[in-house]
Amino acid sequence: MHFNPYGGVAAELAVRLVNAAPDEDLGRLLAEIGYKPIGVIDARQDAELRRWIRELDAVFRDPSVDRLNVLLAKTTGRPYISIHDGRAPHLHYSEETAPVDERVKAYTAFGLATLFCEAPTRIGRCARDGCDTVFVDTSRNGKRRFCTTQCSTRVHVAKHRRRTAS
């Protein structure tokens, strides 16, 4: 499935944030993804991003119009069309001069909202018991249930062993 490249990247950033380890350096994570401009993430912004990650996680647990509208309302998003760095016109969801936490919140909220409007069933959480990894389902048929082949294999091997043991 082909998603809007800007909305898709924003939804993937939401995935990366939710799947981040609790002690992961969020500035480094943003830099690895290529999110710009990063600027300095101070203690207040770090704490706010970590609180935001919990809200994003709730969307992956139960994606709904109401939950996403609440998320959108909590941002300082003011969408506008931008042309910079030789790129084609594309949307920005907050001012480039806004603090990093505010920009990331608007970006991820709008990305997940766009994804939900295009294909709500593609916002996923691994179906293996004990795995809380989230993902955006970009599979051809849109039937992805597991975060990785490894989780899928574990579930299917366990089912096979239960069947053959009976």
pLDDT for position 140: 84
Q: Please report where in the chains the tokens 């089912």 appear, as a residue.
A: 159
pLDDT for res 34: 85
The CATH number of residue 24's host domain is 1.10.3300.10
Which residue is it, tokens 């969801």? 93
Q: What is the pLDDT of residue 1?
A: 46
d(CA 148, CA 85): 35
Q: Please list the residues that pair with 92 across neighbouring strands.
A: 80
| pLDDT value at 63 more than 60 | yes
**Element housing 98 (H / E):** none
H-state helical runs in the chain: 5-19, 26-33, 43-61, 65-73, 100-118, 149-165
Between residues 163 and 3, the one the model is more confident about = 163
pTM of the entire predicted model = 0.87
Greater pLDDT, 26 or 84: 26
Q: In this structure, is residue 17 part of a structural domain?
A: yes
Q: Are 82 and 92 in contact (CB under 8 A)?
A: yes
Is residue 98 in a domain? Answer: yes
For residues 149-156, average pLDDT: 93
Q: Is the pLDDT of residue 7 over 60?
A: no
> In the numeric block, which tokens belong to residue 102?
């505010």
Q: What is the pLDDT of residue 150?
A: 95
Asked if 41 contacts 94 with a C-beta cutoff of 8 angstroms, the reply is: no
Phi-psi region of 85 (alpha: psi -120 to 50; beta: other; left: phi over 0): left
Q: How many domains does the chain have?
A: 1
Show the domain range for 52: 5-120
Percentage of the chain lying above the pLDDT 70 cut: 96
Confidence of residue 86 (pLDDT cuts 50, 70, 90): confident
